[in-house]
Amino acid sequence: MNISLYDISVWVLPVVIAITFHEAAHGFVAHRLGDDTAWQLGRVSFNPLKHIDPFGTLILPAVLLFAHSPFLFGYAKPVPVNFRKLNHPKLDMVWVALAGPATNIILAIAAALAFHAVPLVPADAAKWTADNLKNAFLINIVLAIFNMMPIPPLDGGRVAVGLLPRPLAIPLARLEPYGMLILIGLLILLPVIGQQVGLNLDVISTILGILTGYVRNALLLITGNT
């Protein structure tokens, strides 16, 4: 796989902005709802260095990319939230969790709208600008949908824990320490095992791809890019 400096230049900025705004949104909403943990630690910030996890944000995606993995996977340093300090812990947990994916959808809409202004950009920078906007649009949609998978510690898992009745919420919440291992198994190991036995077990990636397509088409229609 040949990766040029141009490829890096049109992917890095959208990824960094998507991750940074996603994590900052969690901390901001938590602060507004009574928990100042992230605020006190300086995590309510648009400084990407505050949110980068050396392994999850840099090393793991790079290893998967160069290993020709069927699915690229990575994560940022989670924003610390003390749910007990929230004004209404069970309900506010849902709002804090939704803040990240909602911010990514807003960023995707902004990128799609900004695409209308590409003809105004000088010719020598138009392609680079357009590619950044296209990648920002796609990355933010994928990040929003991926994080809404109902597996703790992903945002969708925390939304489910906040909305489900207590008898169902407690067992789901207990999965959080093992959530990343479960994700790696579902997204990376299961498809590899499937290839060995001649079965297509890449179900999660397929579902994510279908949902991404629906959201992509809807946002393109809303922003007049069809």
Active site residues: 23
Cα–Cα–Cα angle for 143, 30, 76, nearest 5°? 35
Taking the C-alpha atoms of residue 220 and residue 14, their distance in angstroms, rounded to an integer, is: 18
SS3 category, 93? helix
Contact assessment for residue 111 and residue 100, using Cβ atoms and an 8 Å cutoff: no
DSSP 47: -
Joined tokens for residue 88: 């209404």
Joined tokens for residue 9: 């230049």
Helix spans in 115-202 (H) = 123-147, 155-163, 166-173, 179-184, 190-197
Taking the C-alpha atoms of residue 226 and residue 223, their distance in angstroms, rounded to an integer, is: 8
Chain CA centroid to CA 154, Å: 9
Q: How far apart are the first and last CA of the chain?
A: 31
Structure-token match 């690229």, residue found: 72
